[in-house]
Amino acid sequence: MTSARIRKTTIKDVANAAGVSTATVDRVINNRAKVSPATATRVLDTYRRLASNATADLPGEPERRLRFDFVMESSKPFIDSIKTAVERIASSYQRFNISLHIHQAPLPFNLQEFTMRLSAIATESDGIVLVCREDPAITSCLNAISKAAVPLVCLTTDLVDTERLGYVGINHVSAGRTAGSLLGQFIGPQSGDLILLLTGSFRCQYERELGFRSLIREAYPNLSIREVYAHQETDPDCFAKLSEALKSHPVRPLAVYNTGGGIRGVADALTAMGWSREVLFVGHELNDASLELMTTNRMAAVIGQDTKSEVAVAVNALLHHHQRTTTPPTYTPAAPLVFLKENIGTLISDGLPIFHGELNGP
């Protein structure tokens, strides 16, 4: 394979062309801190334009087309948000001569089938971006893939025992602590129970639980945690498990924190008890379902992440590995985003790529 001869575009070049500071460019490119959507868009568009101009008309033999595969095991709404992000960035990477492919693990999850599919995908892949649970069998499979010279990037949830290039996503301990802080401040001095709804076997959810429990223990001794476990990140399973827990306990909880998917099932369980307005509900990922629940006052807040930026960073990491770009990857976890009913309108109008289909879609 012939490596691309890329004339480097510097942060200073982008800052001068976009009319912003070099610090702002650094924050946007590396997703280090919050920048207004309009400014981020201007910086990224400027970077792409300068980078494209810098590589135009370079002599050299055409490079082999690279294939990058996104392999995902998660709830449908979250996978849909990743698919949307992949589709929206694809055109920005045409000049790198790559193709992006998406694979979704079917439900119910089957560990043996998943590892077999991973191994099959790896035989044709030049890089895998992975969203999945932690399991020794998966770790063994991925380390074998890595030894076969197929680079791996963990997206939104880490697999720390794998030989991956790095993890791209938010700080999930911080996300759990943020959820605890929001609920503690919403509730105030009142004493009572919080329900912690756990789903799946993902490291991101373990870390969210750790952050949530530690914050409540440290800052809000007036609040007690009751745990409910749902085996699947689906609306039916979350509805069934939470409904059972609510009916079996005589005292109405003050709030519910859901660490994973199935948020519509959680909201429906509270509605079925007649508590949709009395019990605060905080969960994760801004998508069609959570948008509807917030706008109808059935969800107090959503802890989210910028999936488009994360997908772009993951693709850049694979490009850098293959020497198709000189822009080094960054694996510093980003800060979680907090979405309330009052602040989502501007984000939607600025085109934040988090929605798949129409409101009330599947």
In a domain, 289, yes or no: yes
Residues 143 and 236 reside in one and the same domain: no
Residues 270 and 280 reside in one and the same domain: yes
Task: Give the single-character DSSP code of 65.
Answer: P
**What DSSP assignment string belongs to 131-174?**
E----HHHHHHHHHHHHTT--EEEESS--TTS--SEEESB-HHH
Spell out the residues 6+ positions from residue 53 whose beta carbon is closer than 8 angstroms to its own: none
pLDDT at position 56 over 50: no
Rg (CA), the chain: 21
Minimum mean pLDDT range among 84-88, 98-102, 295-299, 334-338: 84-88
What is the predicted pLDDT for the residue at 248? 95
Verdict on whether the full-model pTM lies above 0.85:
no
CA distance linking residue 62 with residue 4, whole number of Å? 9
Q: Give the confidence band of 354 by pLDDT, cuts at 50, 70, 90.
A: very low
Q: Give the CATH number for residue 17.
A: 1.10.260.40
In a domain, 31, yes or no: yes
What is the predicted pLDDT for the residue at 61? 41
Residues 177 and 59 reside in one and the same domain: no
What is the predicted pLDDT for the residue at 153? 98
Question: Exposure of 362 by Cβ count < 10 A (0-12 exposed, 13-18 middle, 19+ buried)?
Answer: exposed
Residues 207 and 277 reside in one and the same domain: yes
Q: Which amino acid is at 63?
A: E
Residues 194 and 76 reside in one and the same domain: no
What is the predicted pLDDT for the residue at 2? 40
Residues 84 and 146 reside in one and the same domain: yes
Q: Does an H or E element contain 39, and which?
A: helix 37-55
Residues 189 and 111 reside in one and the same domain: no
Residues 180 and 299 reside in one and the same domain: yes
Q: If you search the block for the tokens 């879609």, which residue do you land on?
A: 361
Per residue in 157-206, pLDDT (tens digit) is: 999 999 999 999 999 999 999 999 999 999 999 999 999 999 878 999 99
Q: Give the CATH number for residue 74.
A: 3.40.50.2300
End-to-end CA distance of the chain: 43
In a domain, 43, yes or no: yes
Q: State which residues form the domain around 34.
A: 1-63
In a domain, 360, yes or no: no
Residues 231 and 253 reside in one and the same domain: yes
CA distance linking residue 89 with residue 86, whole number of Å? 5
Taking alpha carbons only, the member of 147, 180, 179, 174 closest to residue 163 is 147
Question: Exposure of 221 by Cβ count < 10 A (0-12 exposed, 13-18 middle, 19+ buried)?
Answer: exposed
pLDDT at position 57 over 50: no
Total number of domains in the chain: 3
Spell out the residues 6+ positions from residue 335 whose beta carbon is closer than 8 angstroms to its own: 33, 34, 170, 171, 174
| Mean of pLDDT values over 46-74 | 71
Tokens of 90: 């694809």
Q: If you search the block for the tokens 């509270």, which residue do you land on?
A: 270
In a domain, 257, yes or no: yes
Per residue in 302-328, pLDDT (tens digit) is: 999 999 899 999 999 999 999 999 888
- Residue 45 Ramachandran class (φ > 0 left, ψ -120 to 50 alpha, else beta): alpha
Contact at 8 Å (CB) between 245 and 195?
A: yes
Residues 224 and 182 reside in one and the same domain: yes
Residues 76 and 97 reside in one and the same domain: yes
Q: Give the confidence band of 53 by pLDDT, cuts at 50, 70, 90.
A: low
In a domain, 254, yes or no: yes
> Torsion angle of alpha carbons 340, 342, 347, 348, nearest 10°?
100
The average confidence (pLDDT) of the chain is 87
Cα–Cα separations (whole angstroms), residue 85 to 90, 199, 292, 315: 9, 24, 20, 12
Residues 153 and 205 reside in one and the same domain: no
Q: State which of 14, 39, 63 marks the end of a domain.
A: 63
Phi, psi of 335, rounded to the nearest 5 degrees: -75, 145
In a domain, 140, yes or no: yes
In a domain, 341, yes or no: no
Phi, psi of 24, rounded to the nearest 5 degrees: -65, -40
